[in-house]
Amino acid sequence: MHASIVGQLKVCLSYRTIQDTVILLFNPLSIDLVHSYTEENYIKTIFKLSANGTQEVNTNAIAEALETRAASVTDMLRKLSAKQLVNYVKYKGVSLTQEGEQVALQVIRKHRLWEVFLLEKLKFSWDEVHEVAEELEHVNSPLLIQRLDEYLGYPKFDPHGDPIPSESGQMMVKKQRLLAELEIAEGGVVVGVNDSQPLFLQYLNKVGISLGSRIRVVDKMAYDHSLEIVLEEEKSLLLSSEVSRNIFLSA
């Protein structure tokens, strides 16, 4: 059988031959084509937007997140829909198909593994990591990611405390609570952040909060919802409501 046809067999469930004609029976969910840099970014964005909040994502939200225009988003949604990566109904918003979700999870896996590498091996700081990982996540080589994962010791969480999906798209779920939701006298260990912008991470660095820091709430100001906390049972700090809504503690 011709090599290029044999190459396709691994993505199809079965095949039959009738007089020299090969009939391929595809399982649409198992076709893992390579997607463009741009397509990957759209899918990742849709995943993130549907994760925190509503089910259906609307066009403007995507446009804003990707710093592009609504018309461009519509174009791409029609393309992704044709590729069966999203469920798209005109004027009604969009959601990922199962296959689209797998694509998103693999991009996120690559992104987070590179973040771990940059931080642990190349000594990048918490806030320098994101931008570079944003480029590296689109390098396409399953072998590379597999070896990188091994080299890093199969980490389950990235430097921001976010879980790293496995090769098959599974993620650890961490029981976590927003610092802002704790009552007086409650406490916990910092396991993640809700905002990865450099400015926020630099702020945390400055006040001495990092993954693993132990925090206890001492007082809550009813006026502006700011919090008085104790860090590592020794340093007292006042955190704004803004900040306390962006730190996750172990539950």
> In angstroms, rounded to a whole number, what is the distance separating the alpha carbons of residues 208 and 15?
61
- Please enumerate in sequence order all residues whose Cβ is within 8 A of that of 182, keeping only pairs 6 or more positions apart, or say none: 188, 217, 249
Task: Choose among a copy of itself, DNA, none what residue 141 binds, the Cβ cut-off being 5 to 8 Å by kind.
Answer: a copy of itself
The DSSP annotation for the chain comes to --HHHHHHHTTEEEEEEETTEEEEEE-GGG------HHHHHHHHHHHHHHHSS-SSBPHHHHHHHTTS-HHHHHHHHHHHHHTTSEEE-TTS-EEE-HHHHHHHHHHHHHHHHHHHHHHHTS---TTTHHHHHHHHTT---HHHHHHHHHHTT--SB-TTSPBPP-TTS------EEEGGGPPTT-EEEEEEES---HHHHHHHHHHT--TT-EEEEEEE-TTT--EEEEETTTEEEEE-HHHHTTEEEE-
Task: Choose among DNA, a copy of itself, none what residue 98 binds, the Cβ cut-off being 5 to 8 Å by kind.
Answer: none
Closest to DNA by CB, 71 or 251: 71
Closest to a copy of itself by CB, 13 or 139: 139
**Interaction residues for DNA, span 23-62 (CB under 7 A):** 36-39, 58-61
Binding mask 71-90 for DNA (x = CB under 7 A): xxxxxxxxx--------x-x
Owner of token pair 């955190």? 239
C-beta of 115: minimal distance to a copy of itself in Å? 12
Residue 65 touches DNA, criterion: CB under 7 A: no
Task: Tell which one of 27, 29, 69, 186 touches DNA (CB under 7 A).
Answer: 69
Residues in contact with DNA, counted by CB under 7 A, come to a total of 25
Task: Choose among DNA, a copy of itself, none what residue 125 binds, the Cβ cut-off being 5 to 8 Å by kind.
Answer: none
Closest to a copy of itself by CB, 32 or 186: 32
Binding site for a copy of itself (CB under 8 A): 118, 121-124, 128, 131-132, 135-136, 139-141, 143-144, 147-148, 150-151
Task: Choose among DNA, a copy of itself, none what residue 223 binds, the Cβ cut-off being 5 to 8 Å by kind.
Answer: none
C-beta of 51: minimal distance to DNA in Å? 18
Residue 95 touches DNA, criterion: CB under 7 A: no
Q: Which residues bind DNA (CB under 7 A)?
A: 36-39, 58-61, 67-79, 88, 90-91, 93
